[in-house]
Amino acid sequence: MHQKPAPPIAELYPGLTETELAAARENLERYLALVLRIFDRVELDEDPQPDRLTPGIGTLACTPPRSESSN
């Protein structure tokens, strides 16, 4: 499957100055490095516990609306 490469940041944000584009590139690189570090840690975990990252997350309680005929 052939994927089109991602557009350069300058193409996504044409109104930014060169200084702002440099900062945006650096921020993106730092963000991607963080994501990779998190992924690597999860992959190396010998006893993965999915609820550790999102404790207490579950389904939301749902009470169906009462129909007008039951009032």
- Ordered DSSP codes for 1-55: ---PPPPPHHHH-TTS-HHHHHHHHHHHHHHHHHHHHHHHHHHH-SS--GGGTST
pTM across the whole model: 0.55
Specify the pLDDT at position 23: 96
Dump pLDDT digits (tens) for 24-68. 999 999 999 999 998 888 787 776 666 665 556 565 666 777 776
Return the residue matching tokens 């840690």.
Answer: 41
Q: State the greatest distance between any 2 C-alpha atoms of the chain, in Å, as a whole number.
A: 65
Mean pLDDT, residues 5-28 taken together? 93
Please give the residue that has the higher pLDDT: either 27 or 1. Answer: 27
Rounded distance, CA 27 to CA 35, Å? 12
| Residue 22 reports pLDDT greater than 90 | yes
